Amino acid sequence: MEFRREMKSMELLSPLAGFERELKWVEYREDPLTACQSRINVARVGRERQAQVGVDLTGVIEGTRGDCLFCPHNIEQRTPRFPPELYPQGRIKRGECLVFPNLFPFAQYHAVGTLTREHFLDLDEFTPEMLVDNIMASRDFIALVHQRDQGAKWPMWIWNHLPPSAASIIHPHVQILVDEAPSPELSRLLRRSEEYFAARGRNYWQDLVEEERELGQRYIAENDSLAVLASYAPRGNREVQLIFKGLSNLADLGEGQAMDFATSVVKILRCYKGMGVNSFNLITYSAPSGERLDYYWLSARMISRPFFQPFYTNDTGFMERFHDIWVIETLPEDVAAQLRKGF
């Protein structure tokens, strides 16, 4: 495994008189498995963002509470039910979680799962128990779909929190997707993992965890079920990888593993809040239901998004959308050092 970390200095000469020369360092990084490219310049965190101003979110939160589809006073009347042939009870319930069909799907089977009855929670208010209830209810949905349709075996569990993450509803919720084919990125992860296994006789993800643990630069923590790392070549700011040990798909996730995952996520969220973050994305990369792959381990990624306020500067631009090169302003080694304190 080779971590490619190329430092390039750029001497920026202003065309205007009276401005001094500046020397900027940009790191060019490449993911050792996928060859995904990142460019990191930590100085960008200090650039002026004219659209960003401090704001009290209370008005936004309270203004959306009354008409929220996912709040207790609306959810039973205004959310759809699964067809009887899939789930006769209509919706999957566990704790405060309710799982039901997505009204505006973009997958063959697409459900929504609430995390709490509360309309809004700050990042330090989520509990592992909330997440476990949601994860296990989501796993039940994935199993029901696969039992009914054997071809639908590619699950995804996604948590987009607040509008900067592309969430359209304030109320904390996740999305559960099951498709007949993997996404292009998951296909790439599986193919490269299999190639690595064929060439070396070892699981790439196990090697990654062991090497990062030995290096110590981006290693954050681990428990019985998973390891937590800062990504070497991140796709977003403050990116964290959670890599399950010996488990390849969401459908086989046990309750103990779900609790270990939930506990780690809650710790990351509390650290995120301390970093000034309130919006994030979390996505899983799962092998197909019913298949245990020696060469692949289930993983998840978390990234922070711009602070939620009426006006903000988006953190994704032309390089990410059109060139698949991720421009980053947080150094993974610094992110790991900050997150370790929370573990």
Fold designation for 58-340 = HIT family, subunit A (3.30.428)
Is the CA virtual torsion 261, 264, 269, 270 positive or negative? positive
Determine contact, residues 200/303, Cβ cutoff 8 Å. no
Separation CA 259–CA 136 (nearest Å): 10
How is residue 87 annotated by DSSP? Answer: -
135-180 pLDDT tens trace: 999 999 999 999 999 999 999 999 999 999 999 999 999 999 999 9
- Cα torsion 203, 206, 208, 210 to 10°: value is -140
SS3 240: strand
Model confidence at 7, pLDDT cuts 50, 70, 90, reads low
Separation CA 37–CA 30 (nearest Å): 5
Determine contact, residues 204/197, Cβ cutoff 8 Å. yes
Query: Rounded to whole angstroms, what are the CA distances from 137 to 19, 93, 270?
Result: 59, 7, 24
SS3 234: coil
178-190 pLDDT tens trace: 999 999 999 999 9
195-245 pLDDT tens trace: 999 999 999 999 999 999 999 999 999 999 999 999 999 999 999 999 999
Model confidence at 22, pLDDT cuts 50, 70, 90, reads low
Extents of the domains making up the chain: 58-340
Q: What is the pLDDT of residue 14?
A: 44
30-65 pLDDT tens trace: 999 999 999 998 887 766 554 455 567 788 899 999
Determine contact, residues 219/203, Cβ cutoff 8 Å. no
Strands 325-328 and 37-40 come out as: parallel
Mean pLDDT across 329-338: 95
Q: Which class for 108: exposed (0-12), middle (13-18), buried (19 or more C-beta within 10 A)? A: middle
